[in-house]
Chains A and B, each alone.
Chain A
Amino acid sequence: MSEDAQGPITMIRTPVDLEYNISAGPDLTLFLRGLKEEKKLYGRRSPNGDVYIPPRGACPVTGQPMLEEVEVSDHGTVTTFCLINIPIEGQELKPPYVFAAIILDGASLPLFHMIAGIAADEARMGMRVKANWKPDDELVLSLESINYFEPSGEPDADYDSYKEHL
Chain B
Amino acid sequence: MSESSAEILTAPYRLKYSYKRTTGPVIGRFLTDLRDGKITGVRRPDGAVMVPPREYDPETGEALSEFVSLPDTGVVTGWTWVAEPRQLHAMSTPFAFATIQLDGAHTGMLHRVVAPDESVMRSGMRVRARWAAERVGMITDIECFVPEESA
A contacts with B: majority SS:
mixed
User: Nearest Cβ in chain B — how far from A27, in angstroms?
Assistant: 10
| CB-CB under 8 A for A9 and B32, given A14-B20, A30-B1 | yes
- List B residues 1-50 near A (Cβ within 8 Å): 1-2, 4-5, 7-23, 28-29, 31-32, 35-36
Chain A: which residue is nearest B134 at the CB level? Answer: A1
CB of B91 within 8 Å of the partner chain: no
| A:1-38 near B, CB below 8 Å | 3, 6, 8-26, 28-30, 32-34, 37-38
Known contacts A8-B29, A22-B10, A23-B8; A17/B88 CB under 8 A? yes
Look across to chain A and name the residue whose beta carbon is closest to the beta carbon of B86: A19
- Tell me the smallest distance from the CB of B33 to a CB of chain A, in Å: 9
A68 at the interface (CB under 8 A from B): no
Which of A8, A29, A38 is within 8 Å of B9, CB to CB? A29
With an 8 A cutoff between CB atoms, is B52 at the interface? Answer: no
With a CB–CB cut-off of 8 A, which chain B residues contact A89? 18
> From DSSP, what is the main secondary structure of chain B's interface residues?
mixed
Query: Is there contact, CB below 8 Å, between B17 and A16?
Result: yes
Quote the shortest CB–CB distance from B1 to chain A (angstroms): 7
Q: A11-B21, A11-B22, A33-B1 are in contact. Are A17 and B8 (CB under 8 A)?
A: no
Residues of chain A with a CB closer than 8 A to B15's CB: 16-18, 20
B10 in contact with A3 (CB, 8 Å): no
Q: Is the CB of A21 within 8 A of B36?
A: no
Q: How many Å from the CB of A62 to the closest CB on chain B?
A: 24
Chain A: CB-nearest residue to B29 = A8
Is the Cβ of B8 less than 8 Å from the Cβ of A26?
Answer: yes
A residues with CB within 8 A of B: 3, 6, 8-26, 28-30, 32-34, 37-38, 89-90, 141
